[in-house]
Structure 1
């Protein structure tokens, strides 16, 4: 991983965004930079002791990796330039393809509609058409079982919701 200065990081990041406009992702990581070899106290944090920490920014697209360290004095100036770059790169993002989502929602609505409509059992019990009637009876039983499963799930959901709204009061 390359550690570069702040201006180089911004130019490399804009190049990375330009490279991944059609396909690909960019991962950005922000961390507090801790110097190696220093003893860190966990009891109250560094801000109370008057210490100021640098910020470490990392960027990668899976192949190219680079990072920069920003001192606390340059943080405001750097974040304004960094924010401008992010806003510019976000405006070039592609719109989500909602066709597939709409298709899935329509299929789910059709399944629910079919589940709510009763299956009609008709035909003779014996003779011609017997197998058709048996298939209809089997489908009706399956539909009733699915309705019962959905009913139990809804009941359990209601109970969980009621328990969350009115938690049991502890007595000590």
Structure 2
């Protein structure tokens, strides 16, 4: 796992990641969060019911794995792919409210360049494809 950033570094890196992804023709940004449970916790710590810190992650989803659907001629070109961007930070329970306020602002600002999903094609497929498709 990459080293956790402080909150300011995380927000500036996330802003950069969101703007660079929205400028490309395609791309995704995955945002995840989960409680950071320590393996050394004792029963006494669990009985006090102190909420654990939250691990916040952001990644652009790029992988270095070759595309199995790509033709073999494209694989020989060996274009240098961008490496996967991984960002993470740990938020303590007493800092959650201020962190989430800023996190929401950064995410909303980064989503301005997104395209709205085209739902018309999906609805048209659902209406016309009522029965099984058979080949003639």
TM range (shorter): 0.5 to 0.7
Q: Which residue of 1 aligns with 2:34?
A: 31
Query: Which segments of 5 or more consecutive residues in structure 2 lack a partner in the other structure?
Result: 62-83
Cα shift at 1:101: 2.7
CA contact (8 A) 1:17 1:26 kept: yes
Q: For CA contacts below 8 A with separation 6 or more, give which structure has more relative contact order.
A: 2
Aligned match of 2:55:
56
CA contact (8 A) 2:18 2:111 kept: no
How far residue 99 of structure 1 moved from its aligned partner, in angstroms, is 4.9
Question: For residues 16 and 55 of structure 1, do their structure 2 counterparts lie closer, same or farther at Cα, with a shift above 3 Å needed?
Answer: same
**Distance across 2 between alignment mates of 1:76 and 1:98:** 35
Taking the aligned partners of 1:49 and 1:33, their CA distance within structure 2 comes to 16
**Structure 1: segments with no counterpart, 5+ residues:** 113-138, 140-172
TM-score calculated relative to the size of structure 2: 0.65
Paired residue for 2:14?
A: 13
Distance 2:51 2:126 in 1: 51
Query: Where do 1:53-132 residues align within 5 Å?
Result: 53-62=52-61, 63-101=84-122, 103-105=124-126, 107-108=128-129
Partner of 1:151: none
* Counterpart in the other structure of 2:68: none
- Deviation of 1:52 after TM superposition, in Å, equals 3.4
Q: CA RMSD in A?
A: 2.7
Deviation beyond 6 Å, 4+ runs, structure 1 = none
The structure that has the greater radius of gyration is: 1
How many residues align structurally? 108
Structure having the larger proportion of residues in helix? 1
